[in-house]
């Protein structure tokens, strides 16, 4: 079954009209401190985090500072602290009092074991991690980009849940996963909205007004998604500069003419699943086109956009069936007097 986000929270996007609030959140101060002993791999990890799609010149972007264990750290100046440990060392007695001091400032802290590729048995790291109870503990090899991507990035995104754009704007390594999340969430939100309006359209007299409303809501959500992806790539935050460029990139008029023809009259004739699939696929195609342009300055052709849309229709049908199934299960739980699962 496809992954389903929290649709109750997701529907908040339908009420998002304050672009200034999105802009202010993306521009909030952000600075990471990476603290570790000499040779722990601080510079290697920093280089990984600062490389990725649309990486700016190094001199223009230094949102990360590295500190030795014996240095005084003005913790209040940082949004996140990574305490980097050399996993090849047998003890980390010095770091424990430093962690206790850092915790007193209530700044998010990640305990990160590095150089696990040098260990024959990683069980020692697992056992040692018990001393850091209460903190996020991960193990990586900073020279291996995949382990950083798979282990560290998800923890950072969880800590910054709802504010992931800030991470991506400053750390190019996070731009692809943050953009993917923005696209997936908006696809599900538009699919769920289309389901709700599609059920209402079962009354054939409501079909035309609901389809007009669909176009407004779905397009608004896609515009917000595109703007957020642009912010994640550190594009100008003034929406008056950015959104017109994004609209030109994806050719939304072209795509929405296709979608509009498929939306009108779908529900009374063939049911709600195709309508939900159309909303999902259109949103996915636009999100992918925006991502490609922001990441690689690639402007997709109408043929490519149509192909992405057609491919996403398959996934959209799976999502539609999953949402309908969950809706039916929730309805049955209500009838039976069972609590609805969250």
> Please, where are the H alpha helices in the chain?
7-10, 19-26, 42-49, 95-103, 123-128, 145-147, 153-159, 164-170, 175-200, 207-232, 239-250, 252-263, 266-270, 272-296, 302-336
pTM of the complete model:
0.83
- Confidence (pLDDT) at 251: 63
Q: What is the CATH number of domain 29-162?
A: 3.40.50.300
- Confidence (pLDDT) at 252: 52
Rounded to whole angstroms, the Cα distance separating 256 from 330 reads 33
- Confidence (pLDDT) at 126: 62
- Confidence (pLDDT) at 6: 43
- Confidence (pLDDT) at 166: 95
In the chain, where the domains are located: 7-24+174-336, 29-162
Q: Starting at the edge strand that comes first in sequence, how are the strands of the sheet with 109-114 ordered? A: 64-67, 32-36, 80-86, 109-114, 136-139
Rounded to whole angstroms, the Cα distance separating 14 from 11 reads 5
- Confidence (pLDDT) at 60: 54
- Confidence (pLDDT) at 73: 81
Q: Are 71 and 77 in contact (CB under 8 A)?
A: no
**In a structure prediction context, what are the per-residue pLDDT tens digits for the chain, which is 342 residues long?**
344 444 444 445 545 567 888 899 899 999 999 999 999 999 999 999 999 987 666 545 579 999 998 888 888 889 999 999 998 876 777 888 888 888 888 889 999 999 988 876 666 666 666 677 778 899 999 999 999 999 999 999 999 999 999 999 999 999 999 999 999 999 999 888 888 776 544 444 444 444 555 677 788 888 889 999 999 999 988 888 888 888 777 765 545 555 555 554 444 444 677 778 888 988 899 899 999 999 998 888 888 888 888 899 899 889 888 888 877 765 554 444 455 444
Q: What is the DSSP string of 36-53?
A: E-TTS-HHHHHHHHT-ST
For the record, the structure tokens of 19 come out as 């672009």
- Confidence (pLDDT) at 211: 56
- Confidence (pLDDT) at 129: 63
Q: Are 85 and 92 in contact (CB under 8 A)?
A: yes
Strand partners, 10: none
Radius of gyration of the chain (CA): 23
H or E element, residue 326: helix 302-336
- Confidence (pLDDT) at 127: 62
- Confidence (pLDDT) at 105: 85
Query: Token match 């290697």: residue?
Result: 44
């Amino acid at each position: 079954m496809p992954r389903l986000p929290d649709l109750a929270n997701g529907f908040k996007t339908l009420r998002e009209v304050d672009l200034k609030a999105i802009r202010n959140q993306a521009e909030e101060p952000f600075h990471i401190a990476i603290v570790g002993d000499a040779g722990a791999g601080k510079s290697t990890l920093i280089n990984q985090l600062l490389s990725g799609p649309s990486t700016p010149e190094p001199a223009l972007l230094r949102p990360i500072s590295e500190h030795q264990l014996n240095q005084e750290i003005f913790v209040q100046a940082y949004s996140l602290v990574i305490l980097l440990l050399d996993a090849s060392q047998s003890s980390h007695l010095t770091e424990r009092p430093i962690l206790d001091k850092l915790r007193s400032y209530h700044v998010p802290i990640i305990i990160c074991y590095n150089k696990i590729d040098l260990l024959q048995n990683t069980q020692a790291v697992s056992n040692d991690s018990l001393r850091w109870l209460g903190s996020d503990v991960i193990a990586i090899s900073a020279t291996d980009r995949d382990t950083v991507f798979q282990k560290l990035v998800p923890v950072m995104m969880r800590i910054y849940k709802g504010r992931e754009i800030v991470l991506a704007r400053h750390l190019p390594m996070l731009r692809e996963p943050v953009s993917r999340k923005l696209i997936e969430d908006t696809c599900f939100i538009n699919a769920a909205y289309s389901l709700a309006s599609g059920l209402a359209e079962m009354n054939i007299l409501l079909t035309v007004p609901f389809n007009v409303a669909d176009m407004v809501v779905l397009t608004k959500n896609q515009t917000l998604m595109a703007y957020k992806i642009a912010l994640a790539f550190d594009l100008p935050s003034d929406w008056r500069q950015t959104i017109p460029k994004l609209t030109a990139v994806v050719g939304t008029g072209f795509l929405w003419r296709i979608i509009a023809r498929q939306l009108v009259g779908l529900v009374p004739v063939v049911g709600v699943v195709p309508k939900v699939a159309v909303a999902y696929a259109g949103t996915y195609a636009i999100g992918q086109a925006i991502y490609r342009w922001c990441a690689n300055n690639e402007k997709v052709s109408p043929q490519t956009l149509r192909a992405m849309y057609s491919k996403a229709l398959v996934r959209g049908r799976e999502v539609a069936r999953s949402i309908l199934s969950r809706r039916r299960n929730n309805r049955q739980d209500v009838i039976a007097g069972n609590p609805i699962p969250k």
